[in-house]
Structure 1
């Protein structure tokens, strides 16, 4: 499209237009990447539609794969696995950069660092231009977790790893035990389907997926779902599933939907000792009533997870390296667009609700 430019989203009028600009001089610890592919995450769509507010103007896109073209001061750089990075390497990276001296980083919550820098979430300014996926380049800050993309993973799918994939691994990290347990996944989008596949590989006794879209529910069977339930149908259908279990409920409930009604169903069908992991509700939503006596007597727990840490990111890349061909992950990319057609890509995603659209740069 151009030698160096970004597709700039302006919240005031909802436009996404090219901004042609020169590349910056790298600072110590920075890496210049030529973006190759970016997928539009649900949070990008929320910003575009005004459901979520980000500083404007902004270069959106944080699910990115790119090629290293320059490293500052010829410093030795290593990825999170300790492999030396060099120009020409195909990489993906964490949605965030954080200072390693920050207490949140020490406590393995770098995504909440006081010094946090988030790709695709930073206002476009004279000093911050190339910091998102919807541009020709991205400047990676010191404190970014970088990993090489394994050859076994389709590079067009790989952008999904550094958001959805790593977030799923964070959710599973919070579950004490999943082997031989009955798992309920709320939501059959990208996150939910990956979560189902991970649960299956972790030897869950059963995986049930809940959604309101029959097409997506049917697809979840190819990602390890043993049972499916459309929550628009009578609740007795879900009861017939849990009646097969010794505890008559689900041991682990992972919400990827953000739907209050789905979360309520998860609480209703908890087994004694169940763990609830809430991921999906990342935009303002209503409160939910929880009875303390029920929580206590049924030994229930609820944990929330937003984004992920460096270890989750490593586990996500490892998982897809080992299992990419075991499940139809490549079907997540339902439509491709060129960078100059970014606005069309957003409109398509909003209208057709694909798992992901891909921007090729």
Structure 2
């Protein structure tokens, strides 16, 4: 590895690795990813270059590659990952302001905030007026390593970086940057309006967010009901702290129905959280919550059919409805602490069903689209990636 400054007094550090870092570039639905090599990385003050140990495929990555959501191609997808720092810009620090060091194992936030705009000052850095998002940005000169489906990621200043344990498997740590932190944000939104200890918490969707919410809420003393159409996901939810599970397709009166689960719980839910994004689930969450309860919507991140509301029912029941999208640094920190202290109590290590090499990313996305596993892993170290020179030439030249 070569490190040098662009000029004797320049704060920018140029990093050149052998072999050169590689990234998988998505172009459009139906077309395979192509690889580029990035021979030189310029680290501004506060930046870090992280070698990816493992990335995991989020549902949003699948929706993008299938054309179900808009994306600014070409781009490097991936925003759930864990890795090690191999180079640092001047003054790079953790989310709590501690100096970062080479070799640290870290996770980092989905978003890059400026820290200065009105939204950042209000504690909403994920909605920063100039926000950048890992795995969501069009490929641009100077930030080619902008997503987790790469051998390295250039983590930019303004990102919350959290050191993590050496003792936990990468399969448990990689999802912290998205699903686990989002679950922490969703529960914080609920707890701001309703205590969880002793409350019935109704969760729609037994994906990564729903399962993590179930475990976190159970840890706080809640009676959790998880609703999911897949029998295997309901069985998994029972191992993530759910006291009861329900099939949304079961007819009223059937023992697997939501009505039966609510009857067995003994109380109306004080918290109903939708992690599925399904319009019928959103409607059911709003209808099911009890007096003074809160509905948290976290799964509706793609266009879907509208949901009808009965304003009078919401008003008379004193129901609050909150939306949660991404998270703030404190949620990432809380997610990392939860995983480090409580992951042994729940089968988080079983959520990654298979791991593919970075070069086989398209096979991993196909497996993820099948939905049997909660996550599919992508490991750059499993096999070398051969960059495609045509794509490398199509990317505008770096102005070094």
Q: Using structure 2 for the length normalisation, give the TM-score.
A: 0.86
Question: 1:84 pairs with 92, 99, 120, which one?
Answer: 99
Structure 1 CA distance for aligned equivalents of residues 336 and 209 of structure 2: 15
Task: Give 1:85 shift.
Answer: 1.2
**Residue 185 of structure 2 is aligned to residue 170 of structure 1:** yes
**Residue 225 of structure 2 is aligned to residue 213 of structure 1:** no
Task: Give 1:89 shift.
Answer: 0.7
Question: 1:98 pairs with 101, 108, 113, which one?
Answer: 113
Cα 1:352–1:238 shift into 2, 3 Å? closer
Q: Deviations over 1:214-251 (max 9, x none)?
A: 1110111110011110111113332233234554x211
Q: How many residues align?
A: 357
> 1:317-328 counterparts in 2 under 5 A?
317-328=336-347
Question: 1:50 pairs with 67, 82, 98, which one?
Answer: 67
Structure 2 CA distance for aligned equivalents of residues 224 and 91 of structure 1: 27
Unpaired segments of 5 or more residues in structure 1?
none
Q: Where in structure 1 do 4 or more consecutive aligned residues deviate above 3 Å?
A: 244-247
**Residue 361 of structure 2 is aligned to residue 346 of structure 1:** no
Question: 1:357 pairs with 376, 394, 399, which one?
Answer: 376
Q: Is the 8 A contact 2:228 2:246 kept in 1?
A: yes
Task: Give 1:84 shift.
Answer: 2.7
Q: What is the alpha-carbon root mean square deviation over aligned residues?
A: 1.6
Q: What residue is the counterpart of 1:233 in the other structure?
A: 250
SS at match of 2:169: coil
Q: What residue is the counterpart of 2:198 in the other structure?
A: 180
Cα 1:336–1:239 shift into 2, 3 Å? same
Q: Is the 8 A contact 2:229 2:248 kept in 1?
A: yes
SS at match of 1:55: coil
Structure 2 CA distance for aligned equivalents of residues 264 and 78 of structure 1: 43
Task: Give 1:23 shift.
Answer: 2.6
Q: What residue is the counterpart of 2:240 in the other structure?
A: 223
Question: 2:269 pairs with 237, 247, 250, which one?
Answer: 250
Q: Is the 8 A contact 1:154 1:330 kept in 2?
A: yes
Structure 2 CA distance for aligned equivalents of residues 77 and 144 of structure 1: 10
Specify the structure having the higher radius of gyration (Cα). Answer: 2
Q: Is the 8 A contact 2:94 2:162 kept in 1?
A: yes
**Residue 326 of structure 2 is aligned to residue 311 of structure 1:** no
Cα 1:246–1:218 shift into 2, 3 Å? closer
With 7-16 and 142-151 compared, the bigger mean Cα shift is at 7-16
**Residue 290 of structure 2 is aligned to residue 271 of structure 1:** yes
Q: Deviations over 1:108-157 (max 9, x none)?
A: 11100011111111111223211111111111111100011123432232
Structure 2 CA distance for aligned equivalents of residues 41 and 47 of structure 1: 10
Cα 1:217–1:349 shift into 2, 3 Å? same
Q: Is the 8 A contact 2:27 2:33 kept in 1?
A: yes
Q: What residue is the counterpart of 1:65 in the other structure?
A: 82
Q: Deviations over 1:23-47 (max 9, x none)?
A: 3222222111111111000000010
Task: Give 1:14 shift.
Answer: 2.4
Question: 1:40 pairs with 49, 57, 64, which one?
Answer: 57
Q: Deviations over 1:59-97 (max 9, x none)?
A: 00000111111112xx34321234431111111100011
Cα 1:194–1:186 shift into 2, 3 Å? same
Q: Is the 8 A contact 1:254 1:278 kept in 2?
A: yes
Q: What residue is the counterpart of 2:353 in the other structure?
A: 334
Cα 1:125–1:13 shift into 2, 3 Å? farther
Q: What residue is the counterpart of 2:15 in the other structure?
A: none
Task: Give 1:353 shift.
Answer: 3.6
Q: What residue is the counterpart of 2:316 in the other structure?
A: 297
Q: Deviations over 1:257-315 (max 9, x none)?
A: 00111122222222111210000010001111111111111111100000011111111
Unpaired segments of 5 or more residues in structure 2?
1-17, 381-400
Structure 2 CA distance for aligned equivalents of residues 288 and 164 of structure 1: 24
Q: Is the 8 A contact 1:333 1:358 kept in 2?
A: yes
> 1:125-204 counterparts in 2 under 5 A?
125-175=140-190, 176=193, 177-204=195-222
SS at match of 1:95: strand
